[in-house]
Structure 1
Amino acid sequence: MTEDFQEIVETFEFLDDWEDRYRHVIDMGKTMPPLDETLRVPATKVDGCASQVWIVPHIEGNGPEAVFTFQGESDAMIVRGLIAILSALFNNVTVQQVVDTDAAAAFAQLGLDQHLSAQRSNGLRAMIVRIQSLAQNKLASDS
Protein backbone atom coordinates (compact mmCIF):
# COMPACT_ATOMS: atom_id res chain seq x y z
CA MET A 1 0.00 0.00 0.00
CA THR A 2 1.38 3.41 -0.93
CA GLU A 3 1.96 6.20 1.57
CA ASP A 4 -0.57 8.34 -0.30
CA PHE A 5 -3.25 5.69 0.13
CA GLN A 6 -2.33 5.19 3.79
CA GLU A 7 -2.84 8.93 4.33
CA ILE A 8 -6.34 8.62 2.88
CA VAL A 9 -7.07 5.70 5.23
CA GLU A 10 -5.90 7.80 8.20
CA THR A 11 -7.99 10.77 7.09
CA PHE A 12 -11.06 8.54 6.76
CA GLU A 13 -10.48 7.18 10.27
CA PHE A 14 -10.49 10.77 11.53
CA LEU A 15 -13.74 11.62 9.70
CA ASP A 16 -16.51 9.96 11.71
CA ASP A 17 -19.47 10.91 9.56
CA TRP A 18 -19.97 9.34 6.15
CA GLU A 19 -21.15 12.66 4.71
CA ASP A 20 -17.79 14.20 5.70
CA ARG A 21 -16.01 11.31 4.00
CA TYR A 22 -18.16 11.74 0.90
CA ARG A 23 -17.29 15.46 0.78
CA HIS A 24 -13.62 14.59 1.21
CA VAL A 25 -13.78 12.21 -1.76
CA ILE A 26 -15.37 14.95 -3.88
CA ASP A 27 -12.74 17.47 -2.73
CA MET A 28 -9.99 15.04 -3.71
CA GLY A 29 -11.52 14.80 -7.18
CA LYS A 30 -11.57 18.59 -7.48
CA THR A 31 -7.80 18.74 -6.93
CA MET A 32 -7.02 16.40 -9.82
CA PRO A 33 -5.68 17.97 -13.00
CA PRO A 34 -8.09 17.70 -15.91
CA LEU A 35 -7.41 15.14 -18.61
CA ASP A 36 -6.54 16.65 -21.95
CA GLU A 37 -9.53 16.55 -24.27
CA THR A 38 -7.50 14.69 -26.92
CA LEU A 39 -7.11 11.75 -24.49
CA ARG A 40 -10.87 11.38 -23.99
CA VAL A 41 -11.31 8.85 -26.76
CA PRO A 42 -13.06 5.47 -27.01
CA ALA A 43 -9.75 3.63 -26.47
CA THR A 44 -9.31 5.23 -23.02
CA LYS A 45 -12.97 5.11 -21.99
CA VAL A 46 -13.90 2.67 -19.23
CA ASP A 47 -16.90 0.50 -20.03
CA GLY A 48 -19.21 -0.46 -17.18
CA CYS A 49 -19.43 2.97 -15.56
CA ALA A 50 -22.68 4.90 -15.44
CA SER A 51 -20.77 8.17 -15.84
CA GLN A 52 -18.14 9.02 -18.41
CA VAL A 53 -14.72 7.73 -17.26
CA TRP A 54 -11.36 7.75 -19.02
CA ILE A 55 -8.15 6.07 -17.81
CA VAL A 56 -4.84 6.81 -19.55
CA PRO A 57 -1.85 4.70 -18.43
CA HIS A 58 1.80 5.71 -18.41
CA ILE A 59 4.24 2.85 -17.89
CA GLU A 60 7.98 3.38 -17.68
CA GLY A 61 10.39 0.50 -17.97
CA ASN A 62 9.98 -3.17 -18.71
CA GLY A 63 9.09 -6.34 -16.89
CA PRO A 64 7.52 -6.63 -13.45
CA GLU A 65 9.51 -3.63 -12.17
CA ALA A 66 8.10 -1.22 -14.76
CA VAL A 67 6.55 1.76 -12.97
CA PHE A 68 2.83 2.32 -13.46
CA THR A 69 1.00 5.64 -13.32
CA PHE A 70 -2.24 6.77 -14.85
CA GLN A 71 -4.35 9.84 -15.39
CA GLY A 72 -8.09 9.70 -15.10
CA GLU A 73 -11.13 11.85 -15.62
CA SER A 74 -14.86 11.64 -15.11
CA ASP A 75 -17.83 13.90 -15.66
CA ALA A 76 -19.16 12.98 -12.17
CA MET A 77 -17.57 14.62 -9.11
CA ILE A 78 -17.78 11.57 -6.85
CA VAL A 79 -16.22 9.42 -9.57
CA ARG A 80 -13.39 11.93 -9.99
CA GLY A 81 -12.81 11.47 -6.26
CA LEU A 82 -12.76 7.69 -6.66
CA ILE A 83 -10.20 8.12 -9.44
CA ALA A 84 -8.11 10.24 -7.06
CA ILE A 85 -8.22 7.40 -4.51
CA LEU A 86 -7.29 4.88 -7.21
CA SER A 87 -4.39 7.16 -8.14
CA ALA A 88 -3.17 7.06 -4.54
CA LEU A 89 -3.45 3.27 -4.56
CA PHE A 90 -1.94 2.51 -7.97
CA ASN A 91 0.30 5.38 -9.09
CA ASN A 92 4.07 5.11 -8.85
CA VAL A 93 4.17 1.41 -8.05
CA THR A 94 5.39 -1.45 -10.21
CA VAL A 95 3.09 -3.15 -12.68
CA GLN A 96 3.49 -6.32 -10.60
CA GLN A 97 2.24 -4.46 -7.51
CA VAL A 98 -0.72 -3.14 -9.49
CA VAL A 99 -1.66 -6.68 -10.50
CA ASP A 100 -1.12 -8.04 -6.97
CA THR A 101 -3.07 -5.32 -5.14
CA ASP A 102 -6.34 -6.38 -3.53
CA ALA A 103 -8.18 -3.18 -4.36
CA ALA A 104 -11.45 -4.41 -2.87
CA ALA A 105 -9.75 -4.92 0.50
CA ALA A 106 -8.10 -1.51 0.24
CA PHE A 107 -11.42 0.22 -0.44
CA ALA A 108 -13.02 -1.78 2.38
CA GLN A 109 -10.56 -0.04 4.74
CA LEU A 110 -12.21 3.21 3.73
CA GLY A 111 -15.73 1.88 4.21
CA LEU A 112 -16.57 2.85 0.66
CA ASP A 113 -17.78 -0.64 -0.11
CA GLN A 114 -20.68 -0.05 2.29
CA HIS A 115 -21.66 3.45 1.16
CA LEU A 116 -21.52 3.48 -2.62
CA SER A 117 -24.61 2.75 -4.66
CA ALA A 118 -24.65 -0.50 -6.60
CA GLN A 119 -24.14 1.46 -9.81
CA ARG A 120 -21.10 3.34 -8.40
CA SER A 121 -19.68 0.08 -6.99
CA ASN A 122 -19.95 -1.52 -10.42
CA GLY A 123 -18.20 1.48 -11.96
CA LEU A 124 -15.44 1.34 -9.36
CA ARG A 125 -14.91 -2.35 -10.08
CA ALA A 126 -14.77 -1.58 -13.82
CA MET A 127 -12.07 1.06 -13.21
CA ILE A 128 -10.05 -1.35 -11.05
CA VAL A 129 -10.35 -4.12 -13.65
CA ARG A 130 -9.21 -1.69 -16.37
CA ILE A 131 -6.18 -0.50 -14.37
CA GLN A 132 -5.12 -4.02 -13.39
CA SER A 133 -5.67 -5.26 -16.96
CA LEU A 134 -3.41 -2.52 -18.31
CA ALA A 135 -0.68 -3.61 -15.89
CA GLN A 136 -1.25 -7.30 -16.66
CA ASN A 137 -1.06 -6.61 -20.40
CA LYS A 138 2.27 -4.85 -19.89
CA LEU A 139 3.59 -7.84 -17.93
CA ALA A 140 2.43 -10.22 -20.66
CA SER A 141 3.90 -8.15 -23.48
CA ASP A 142 7.29 -7.98 -21.74
CA SER A 143 7.60 -11.71 -21.13
Structure 2
Amino acid sequence: MPTAAKAAQGFTLLELIIVLLISVLGFAVIGSNISSGNQTTRLQAAARDIASALRYAHGQALMSRQPVSVAVNLAENSYRISNRDKIYRLDERIGISLIVAEEEFAEGQEGSIKFFGDGSSTGGRITLEWGPQLRRIDVNWMTGAVAIADAAA
Protein backbone atom coordinates (compact mmCIF):
# COMPACT_ATOMS: atom_id res chain seq x y z
CA MET A 1 0.00 0.00 0.00
CA PRO A 2 1.41 3.40 -0.94
CA THR A 3 2.57 5.56 1.91
CA ALA A 4 2.08 9.26 2.37
CA ALA A 5 3.79 11.68 0.06
CA LYS A 6 7.32 10.63 -0.54
CA ALA A 7 10.03 13.17 0.21
CA ALA A 8 11.09 14.90 -2.98
CA GLN A 9 14.33 13.56 -4.38
CA GLY A 10 16.87 15.52 -6.39
CA PHE A 11 18.17 19.07 -6.30
CA THR A 12 16.30 22.33 -6.45
CA LEU A 13 16.99 24.89 -9.13
CA LEU A 14 18.56 27.20 -6.55
CA GLU A 15 21.03 24.51 -5.46
CA LEU A 16 22.05 23.86 -9.07
CA ILE A 17 22.60 27.58 -9.72
CA ILE A 18 24.78 27.88 -6.60
CA VAL A 19 26.91 24.90 -7.68
CA LEU A 20 27.31 26.35 -11.20
CA LEU A 21 28.27 29.74 -9.76
CA ILE A 22 30.95 28.17 -7.57
CA SER A 23 32.27 26.22 -10.58
CA VAL A 24 32.46 29.38 -12.70
CA LEU A 25 34.35 31.21 -9.95
CA GLY A 26 36.77 28.30 -9.65
CA PHE A 27 37.46 28.31 -13.39
CA ALA A 28 37.97 32.09 -13.31
CA VAL A 29 40.67 31.69 -10.66
CA ILE A 30 42.35 28.92 -12.65
CA GLY A 31 42.14 31.00 -15.83
CA SER A 32 43.84 33.98 -14.21
CA ASN A 33 46.67 31.74 -13.01
CA ILE A 34 47.11 30.31 -16.49
CA SER A 35 47.20 33.78 -18.06
CA SER A 36 50.23 34.71 -15.95
CA GLY A 37 52.08 32.08 -18.01
CA ASN A 38 51.17 34.13 -21.07
CA GLN A 39 53.96 36.58 -20.22
CA THR A 40 56.56 33.83 -20.40
CA THR A 41 55.02 32.41 -23.56
CA ARG A 42 54.91 35.77 -25.34
CA LEU A 43 58.48 36.60 -24.38
CA GLN A 44 59.69 33.22 -25.63
CA ALA A 45 57.70 33.65 -28.86
CA ALA A 46 59.24 37.09 -29.44
CA ALA A 47 62.73 35.66 -28.87
CA ARG A 48 62.03 32.83 -31.33
CA ASP A 49 60.71 35.31 -33.92
CA ILE A 50 63.81 37.50 -33.71
CA ALA A 51 66.10 34.45 -33.81
CA SER A 52 64.20 33.22 -36.86
CA ALA A 53 64.70 36.59 -38.59
CA LEU A 54 68.41 36.47 -37.78
CA ARG A 55 68.71 32.92 -39.15
CA TYR A 56 66.79 33.94 -42.27
CA ALA A 57 69.16 36.87 -42.83
CA HIS A 58 72.15 34.55 -42.33
CA GLY A 59 70.77 32.11 -44.90
CA GLN A 60 70.01 34.89 -47.39
CA ALA A 61 73.53 36.27 -47.05
CA LEU A 62 75.02 32.82 -47.68
CA MET A 63 72.83 32.20 -50.74
CA SER A 64 73.22 35.63 -52.33
CA ARG A 65 76.85 36.18 -51.28
CA GLN A 66 75.73 39.71 -50.34
CA PRO A 67 75.52 41.28 -46.87
CA VAL A 68 72.09 41.11 -45.22
CA SER A 69 71.37 42.81 -41.92
CA VAL A 70 68.69 42.77 -39.25
CA ALA A 71 68.10 46.26 -37.86
CA VAL A 72 66.63 46.62 -34.37
CA ASN A 73 64.90 49.90 -33.51
CA LEU A 74 65.00 50.34 -29.74
CA ALA A 75 62.72 53.41 -29.74
CA GLU A 76 59.92 51.70 -31.68
CA ASN A 77 60.39 48.19 -30.26
CA SER A 78 60.68 46.75 -33.75
CA TYR A 79 63.08 45.04 -36.13
CA ARG A 80 63.39 44.57 -39.88
CA ILE A 81 65.45 42.60 -42.35
CA SER A 82 67.39 44.72 -44.86
CA ASN A 83 66.15 42.96 -48.00
CA ARG A 84 62.48 43.07 -46.94
CA ASP A 85 60.08 45.98 -46.48
CA LYS A 86 58.14 44.62 -43.53
CA ILE A 87 58.69 46.00 -40.03
CA TYR A 88 58.12 43.47 -37.24
CA ARG A 89 56.82 45.00 -34.00
CA LEU A 90 57.28 43.51 -30.54
CA ASP A 91 54.76 43.73 -27.72
CA GLU A 92 55.15 47.19 -26.16
CA ARG A 93 55.57 45.60 -22.73
CA ILE A 94 58.74 43.82 -23.84
CA GLY A 95 61.92 45.77 -23.19
CA ILE A 96 64.70 45.34 -25.72
CA SER A 97 68.42 46.06 -25.50
CA LEU A 98 71.15 45.55 -28.04
CA ILE A 99 74.91 45.02 -27.99
CA VAL A 100 76.53 45.39 -31.42
CA ALA A 101 79.73 46.69 -32.96
CA GLU A 102 79.99 50.49 -32.77
CA GLU A 103 79.88 50.91 -36.55
CA GLU A 104 76.59 48.96 -36.65
CA PHE A 105 74.81 51.39 -34.34
CA ALA A 106 73.09 54.07 -36.42
CA GLU A 107 72.06 57.54 -35.31
CA GLY A 108 69.13 57.50 -32.95
CA GLN A 109 68.27 54.21 -31.36
CA GLU A 110 68.78 51.69 -34.14
CA GLY A 111 71.48 49.08 -34.35
CA SER A 112 71.96 46.17 -36.68
CA ILE A 113 73.60 42.79 -36.93
CA LYS A 114 75.04 42.19 -40.39
CA PHE A 115 75.62 38.78 -41.98
CA PHE A 116 78.15 38.35 -44.77
CA GLY A 117 78.27 36.00 -47.74
CA ASP A 118 81.11 33.96 -46.23
CA GLY A 119 78.94 32.99 -43.23
CA SER A 120 80.46 35.41 -40.74
CA SER A 121 78.66 38.33 -39.12
CA THR A 122 79.29 41.42 -37.04
CA GLY A 123 77.91 39.47 -34.09
CA GLY A 124 75.93 40.85 -31.21
CA ARG A 125 73.41 40.22 -28.49
CA ILE A 126 69.74 41.12 -28.27
CA THR A 127 68.17 40.94 -24.82
CA LEU A 128 64.40 40.85 -24.32
CA GLU A 129 62.94 41.64 -20.91
CA TRP A 130 59.43 41.44 -19.54
CA GLY A 131 59.19 41.84 -15.80
CA PRO A 132 61.60 39.43 -14.12
CA GLN A 133 61.97 37.30 -17.27
CA LEU A 134 64.87 37.72 -19.70
CA ARG A 135 65.72 36.05 -23.01
CA ARG A 136 69.08 36.54 -24.66
CA ILE A 137 69.67 36.05 -28.38
CA ASP A 138 73.37 35.73 -29.21
CA VAL A 139 74.90 35.91 -32.68
CA ASN A 140 78.41 34.49 -33.06
CA TRP A 141 80.58 36.86 -35.10
CA MET A 142 82.70 34.13 -36.66
CA THR A 143 80.05 31.61 -37.71
CA GLY A 144 76.88 33.72 -37.69
CA ALA A 145 75.21 31.07 -35.50
CA VAL A 146 72.15 32.27 -33.58
CA ALA A 147 71.31 30.95 -30.10
CA ILE A 148 68.56 31.75 -27.58
CA ALA A 149 69.21 31.47 -23.86
CA ASP A 150 67.31 32.26 -20.67
CA ALA A 151 69.10 34.94 -18.73
CA ALA A 152 68.98 35.70 -15.02
CA ALA A 153 67.23 38.96 -14.15
Fold shared per TM-score above 0.5: no
Larger relative contact order (Cα-Cα within 8 Å, sequence gap ≥ 6): 1
Q: Normalising by structure 2, report the TM-score.
A: 0.29
For the pair shown, which has the larger CA radius of gyration, 1 or 2? Answer: 2
Q: Which has the higher helix share?
A: 1
Q: Which has the higher strand share?
A: 2
